[in-house]
Amino acid sequence: MVFILDRILDKIEEFDCIVDKLLSKYPQADKHCKDGTRLFFGGKEIIELNFNNRLKVNDYLKKNPNDFGGTKKNLVIYPAKNTKQIQTDEHKQGKETADNIELIQQRNIKELRKKIRTKPKIVYSNFELFDYLKQQDLRAYIGIQHKRNFLDIFHEETEPSASIFESNKNNGHQLYKCFSTSNPFDGTIIQVTERLLKCSILEVKAFLMELYQVEIKESEQQKELKEVIDIYKELLQSDDLEELYPNFYKVFNRYGYLQDLYILLDLVKEYLPSGKDPRLLFFHSLETISKKFNKSKSVTHTRMNFLTFFNLISKLNFDEIPKELFEYQLKSKKRKGHKYLNSTYELNIYSYQFFNRLDDMCALWIEKGCTTKTVNYEGILRNFGREEADRVFPQDKGKIIPSLNKEVVHRIHKTTLELIETYGWTTEQEVLDNVKLYFKGQQEFKQKQFKICFGELLDGYDLERIRLNKELKEKLEIEGKGYGFIIKRREYIEEIMIDTPESYENHEIFD
């Protein structure tokens, strides 16, 4: 509510005095309004009570010689003779109650259809169904004729505290909100109906489908793809997975990618397009996928690139997207006001042959000592070649590696070879300790570059990374409790078993 004064205030003490009295008169008001240094924004509409009304400043200032003059009076809203404000028709409308609540609670579909004037609609998935229902006119549904606030339908009140507005996600969904502090509520048509009918979500779904004459018509292609997804999901949860594909299990289970893949399959299953294309296609935004993964956007982006590298998913060019799906995406883009289309992915369908190839790729990944830090353009380029880097990161095709990255990788290579030449073997930590950089964040940068170039290092100089065992530690005279990894020439261990070197006293490794 805006109170208009009869003159400008130029002293904060005056403001404090007036606001204190207003808050004593209206104790339900937000106490934060007491701060005269804050700026408050109201709603989009103005409900005029009496625009000519003015609060006379001096009437609300304390009668005290040390104050700012004026006579002491109880708070009133001028003109004083109007002890009760006359309400206009528009103001009375703000207290209107919803007309359709009783019909909804009685589940009177026939009468509700007459009022709402629903039309038959065919959808092809639960996602399409709920998306369509949430876009329906919620005011028409509960029986509100105007666009202002109204009396909440879930509790008794004398002043309107409820409103309906469109979601700021640009998806067309309408939201009901009660702003009262005693009975706050937020929800779409789904939650509103669930609360009015006091029933399960399945009953809500059936009721709204009947009311809005919506039919879910699943295509034969969708049914087949859902069966494929269920078989895929069973494999990922199978006790046999580790024995069938040990390298795949080791790589994907280590980083939690099995769970991500399972979530992705569920996501694809819920949003299968209705066309006849026999592929598992999806086009969710990175934000949507990150929420499903329960991870940040940057981590989700890395994980999607990881799945792309292993050919579990592939990104489609615009000319590869089915016409029906592409047109749907264009409509979604326009409705949401987005600048770009979401990327369209294909999830490769499970087969024995495909997973055998995948297991071989994972074995190579392990051999090269790759980690999630390898999943960037430079990392894939150095370990698997430019063609693979361009495939996984088409937006970076032909990217030039920064000179600093090249210089640090050169030092890592040089230091590794020098240590191996001197001692016959080395470790990652020893290499990093001997590569000296002098800038903020250099330690993390060195570690990242080591992970990025490690596979290239092994291949380029015929090196290998092996885990120590008790026998090797004794032969190499390595101290410490752990059995970590060492980097060596491929033939070195065979040589050492025959002729144990004598100069390894200060060369230690810890797990």
Of 172, 199, 216, the residue at which a domain comes to its end is 216
pLDDT of residue 65: 40
Q: 139, 123 in Cβ contact below 8 A?
A: no
441 located within any domain: yes
Q: Provide the number of structural domains found in the chain.
A: 4
311 located within any domain: yes
Residues 184 and 230 in one domain: no
pLDDT of residue 217: 86
Which SS3 state, helix, strand or coil, does residue 214 take? strand
397 located within any domain: no
Contacts for 346 with CB less than 8 Å, ≥ 6 apart:
279, 280, 281, 313, 314, 316
Domain limits for position 113: 101-216
**pLDDT (tens digit, 0 to 9) for every residue of the chain, 511 residues total?**
788 888 888 888 888 888 888 887 777 777 767 777 777 666 667 777 776 778 888 877 755 444 444 444 444 444 434 444 444 444 444 467 789 999 999 999 999 999 999 999 998 888 889 999 999 999 999 999 888 899 999 999 988 999 999 988 778 899 999 998 889 999 999 999 999 999 999 999 999 999 999 998 888 888 888 888 999 999 999 999 999 999 999 999 987 899 999 999 988 888 776 767 777 887 778 888 899 899 999 999 999 999 999 999 988 877 778 777 777 777 777 766 666 677 788 888 878 899 999 999 999 999 888 988 899 999 999 999 999 999 999 888 899 999 999 999 999 999 999 999 988 889 899 999 999 988 888 899 999 999 899 888 888 888 888 888 888 888 877 777 777 888 888 776 555 544 444 443 444 443 3
Of 59, 86, 113, the residue at which a domain comes to its end is 86
Q: 112, 167 in Cβ contact below 8 A?
A: no
CATH at residue 408: 1.10.10
180 located within any domain: yes
Residues 186 and 295 in one domain: no
Closest CA to 171 of 133, 210, 121: 133
Residues 79 and 170 in one domain: no
Residues 162 and 210 in one domain: yes
* pTM, rounded to two decimals: 0.61
453-to-373, 377, 388, 393, 409 alpha-carbon distances in Å: 10, 12, 15, 18, 7
Residues 262 and 351 in one domain: yes
Q: 350, 280 in Cβ contact below 8 A?
A: no
| Euclidean distance between CA atoms 152 and 180, whole angstroms | 9
Residues 234 and 201 in one domain: no
| Euclidean distance between CA atoms 134 and 174, whole angstroms | 6
| Euclidean distance between CA atoms 322 and 313, whole angstroms | 17
Residues 192 and 246 in one domain: no
Backbone angles phi, psi at 174, to 5 degrees: -100, 140
Tokens of 506: 């200060």
Residues 225 and 362 in one domain: yes
| Euclidean distance between CA atoms 389 and 381, whole angstroms | 5
Number of neighbouring beta carbons within 10 Å of residue 7: 11
300 located within any domain: yes
What type of residue sits at position 210?
E
| Euclidean distance between CA atoms 271 and 210, whole angstroms | 22
Contacts for 71 with CB less than 8 Å, ≥ 6 apart:
58, 59, 63
What type of residue sits at position 230?
D
DSSP string, 349-379: PP-HHHHHHHHHHHHHHHHTT--GGG-SHHH
Residues 80 and 33 in one domain: yes
Residue 507 CA to chain centroid, in angstroms? 47
Query: Residue 80 gets which letter from DSSP?
Result: T
130 located within any domain: yes
Residues 82 and 106 in one domain: no
Of 367, 394, 411, the residue at which a domain comes to its end is 367
pLDDT of residue 74: 44
294 located within any domain: yes
Residues 246 and 333 in one domain: yes
| Euclidean distance between CA atoms 506 and 264, whole angstroms | 50
372 located within any domain: no
DSSP string, 160-175: --EEEEE-TTSS--EE
Number of neighbouring beta carbons within 10 Å of residue 378: 21
Burial zone of 160 (CB within 10 Å; 0-12 exposed, 13-18 middle, 19+ buried): buried
Q: Report how far apart the first and last C-alpha atoms of the chain are (Å, whole number).
A: 67
Q: 306, 372 in Cβ contact below 8 A?
A: yes
Contacts for 158 with CB less than 8 Å, ≥ 6 apart:
95
| Euclidean distance between CA atoms 155 and 184, whole angstroms | 10
Backbone angles phi, psi at 64, to 5 degrees: -155, 130
Please tell me whether the peptide bond between 402 and the residue prior to it is cis, using omega within 30 degrees of 0.
Answer: no
**Which residue do the tokens 């006001």 mark?**
337
| Euclidean distance between CA atoms 260 and 292, whole angstroms | 9
| Euclidean distance between CA atoms 320 and 323, whole angstroms | 9
| Euclidean distance between CA atoms 6 and 10, whole angstroms | 13
Backbone angles phi, psi at 441, to 5 degrees: 85, 10
Residues 287 and 240 in one domain: yes
